[in-house]
Amino acid sequence: MSTESSCGLVVDLSGQVAIVTGASQGLGRSMAVELARSGAQVACVARNVDKLQETVAAIEAAGGQAKAIACDVQDRSGIDELVDGVNEDWGRLDIMVNNAGITRDTLLPRMSDDEWLDVINTNLTGTFYFSRAASRLMMRQRSGRIINISSVSGLIGNPGQTNYSASKAGMIGMTRSLSRELAGRKVTINAICPGFIESEMSQALGDTVLAEVRKRIPAKRLGTPEDVAACVLFLASSAASYITGQVLTVDGGMTG
């Protein structure tokens, strides 16, 4: 199966199996849909199973295969069971997309312990749990792709996002280190750093703030979920087999 995605790429992922966390909305939903459109069977993971069913329905309506799996990315044992279950049901795991993430924005002097820990445990520790479980299978397979969705906030920081920026910078460090461990087993791991993307999260900033944001972006627009999904497809494809430990920034030129 070689189908042109809605972002214009022609990638054949027939016979491959993917897990996408945070697949119930926004970037995660777009990634899951595009991976399925390219032929992959996709396990869609998030806490809200009702929203996940909407993602699965969109995939199935387009002729793809997917299933919804409710899981808290802070649940270590649940994650191990989930990854092993996908492998048992579909016989393999080829693509792991760590996309689940939250924000708890506030200035550091006012940041509570819970606001710090919730973001670190969801964004960074959740990525660690899924990457560890997926890497065990992929190393035995001697093939696989792990794709971590970081953020430009992990590269340049952002006021009021000390917790979020730390979590996303940690994902970059994890990506670079793990790539050195897995390359010999033909498993690649890369990070994508989106800038301001049209999503529920960005809309919460309000029209006035978004207007100022657009002025800072050389491309003069926010990115779309499809812009990021295109990078996921490329990194998941055979064309990216010699690319690992890299950080791909998708921000319309904002960070230069």
Asked if residue 201 belongs to a domain, the reply is yes
Choose, from 90, 128, 164, 234, the residue flagged as catalytic: 164
164 given a catalytic annotation? yes
**E-assigned strands of 47-133?**
65-70, 95-98
Task: Give the pLDDT of residue 207.
Answer: 75
Asked if residue 167 belongs to a domain, the reply is yes
Task: Give the pLDDT of residue 10.
Answer: 86
Asked if residue 161 belongs to a domain, the reply is yes
Contact indicator for 172, 165 with CB cutoff of 8 Å: no
Any idea what DSSP says for residue 122? I
pLDDT beyond 60 at 6: yes
Asked if residue 163 belongs to a domain, the reply is yes
Q: Count of domains in the chain?
A: 1
Query: For residue 143, what are the CA distances in angstroms to 16, 85, 127?
Result: 11, 19, 19
**E-assigned strands of the chain?**
3-4, 10-11, 17-21, 41-46, 65-70, 95-98, 144-149, 187-194, 247-250
CATH number of the domain that residue 190 is part of:
3.40.50.720
Task: Give the pLDDT of residue 21.
Answer: 98
State pLDDT tens for residues 194-216. Answer: 999 987 766 666 777 788 888 88
Asked if residue 49 belongs to a domain, the reply is yes
* Cα end-to-end distance, the chain, whole Å: 37
State pLDDT tens for residues 103-146. Answer: 999 999 999 999 999 999 999 999 999 999 999 999 999 999 99
Asked if residue 147 belongs to a domain, the reply is yes
CB-side exposure of 5: number of CA atoms within 13 Å?
Answer: 29
Q: Which domain holds residue 105?
A: 8-248
What residues does 69 pair with on adjacent strands? 45
Tell me the pTM.
Answer: 0.94
Contact indicator for 169, 125 with CB cutoff of 8 Å: no
Asked if residue 172 belongs to a domain, the reply is yes
Asked if residue 114 belongs to a domain, the reply is yes
pLDDT beyond 80 at 7: no
